[in-house]
Each structure stands twice: as C-alpha cells, then as structure tokens.
Amino acid sequence: MKQSSSSEASATMRVDYTSAQITGRDLLERTTRIGDLQAVFADEEARLELPPETPVYRVQAHIPAGEAVAGALSFGNTVIEPGRVGDEYYMTRGHFHAKRDRGEYYLGVSGVGALILMDEGRRTCWERMEPGTVHYVPGHTAHRVANIGSEPVSFIAFWSSDAGHDYATIASQGFSARMREVEGEPTLVPA
C-alpha cells in the first residue's frame, strides 16, 4: 500500500490579464454608482447633474478565509470607468485599512490610472498605473485610484484578509489632494 500520494488539482479561479475580469466561485461583486458617492467629489453640484445610476467602478473580491483570519490573503479586481465629475476624474471612494499596519499590492492591468496615496501626516503623492505596473501600498497609508485616461482602468489587488476598510476617516477628512484635469493634464491639486 502506498504511504503517500500526489495528484494534480486544477485551479478554481482564473484572471483575464487583458481586462482583470475574474471567473470562479465565491466571488463578491459590487458596483459603485454616481448616486452612491455623495460628497466624495469636490463638485457636488456636478455630481447631482449626472444620472445617479451611472456606474463609476466595480469590484470583484475573493476572500476564501473570511475577513477575520490573521495571515490569510484575499484578492480582487477593480474596474473604473472613464469620466469626470466637474474637473475631477472618476475614482474609488478610498480608505485606510482598519488594521492600519496592513499593506496591499496593486497590479495595473488595463487603462491609465493614478494611485493616490496619503500617509497619516496627510502627505499625498501619486503613481501612474498602466498595464504591468506594480504598486505597493504600505500600511498606515490611505489609497484610492482615479481613471486619468479615456478607457476603463483595471487592476488586481492582493491584501491581508483581516485588513478591514476604514471609510469613515476619509469620509470626514478627505484626502489632502485631488486628481483634477488642469489645462488638459491630470494634476494632483491640494484640496
């Protein structure tokens, strides 16, 4: 009788590296629309002029161990449509991780994006995201992505399952700078 065995198991998930679309089971999916983004963009009047059902970004997430297990990893995608609210590019809501020391990787898949990073001293910088770029979001750093191109922006993210998302701090204090179109160029403008 054999003491041990080995066998090939097939991967249960796949990623399309042209669109970041994930297929497989146990995927959470969420679409965030203009109507969900109250007070996120500077020009609230311009936001209210857009149809509230307009999709801004969608996320797929695979969190196999749930969100409470230290050491477990999750991954997902984000696809942000091109567009602007006033002169500010469509972007994600943005957050700190609730467990502040948890970092994250973002991998650019399609389109041209701006990863906006803000540390706890409210120092803000940005990195251009393009197909193939790799971005490390350190702990203690708020992060959001703006679509600064004319095609959808997509990226894949990997994070600690127990990181948690603190949206409240950004909702009350915002980022210290915003990605706006200034003279035709994406520009990080102090808020």
Q: Binding residues for ligand PAN, per CB under 6 A?
A: 59, 76, 78, 92-95, 104, 143-144, 157, 159, 163, 165
Q: Which is nearer to ligand PAN, 8 or 32 (CB)?
A: 32
Computed on alpha carbons and rounded to an integer, the radius of gyration of the chain in Å comes to: 18
The token pair that represents 166 in the structure block: 């603190």
Q: Could you tell me the smallest distance in angstroms from the CB atom of residue 67 to ligand PAN?
A: 11
Instruction: With contacts defined by CB under 5 A, name the span among 11-19, 79-87, 104-112, 181-189 that binds Zn ion.
Output: 104-112
- Residue 76 binds which one of ligand PAN, Zn ion, none, with CB within 5 to 8 A depending on kind? ligand PAN
- Residue 93 binds which one of Zn ion, ligand PAN, none, with CB within 5 to 8 A depending on kind? ligand PAN
Q: Could you tell me the smallest distance in angstroms from the CB atom of residue 104 to Zn ion?
A: 5
The token pair that represents 46 in the structure block: 């311009």
Q: Which is nearer to Zn ion, 84 or 154 (CB)?
A: 154
Nearest to 144 by CA among 109, 171, 183: 171
Provide CB contacts within 8 A for 17, sequence distance 6+.
Answer: 109
For 144, the enclosing helix (H) or strand (E) is strand 141-147
- Rounded to an integer, what distance in angstroms lies between the CA atom of residue 111 and that of residue 119? 26
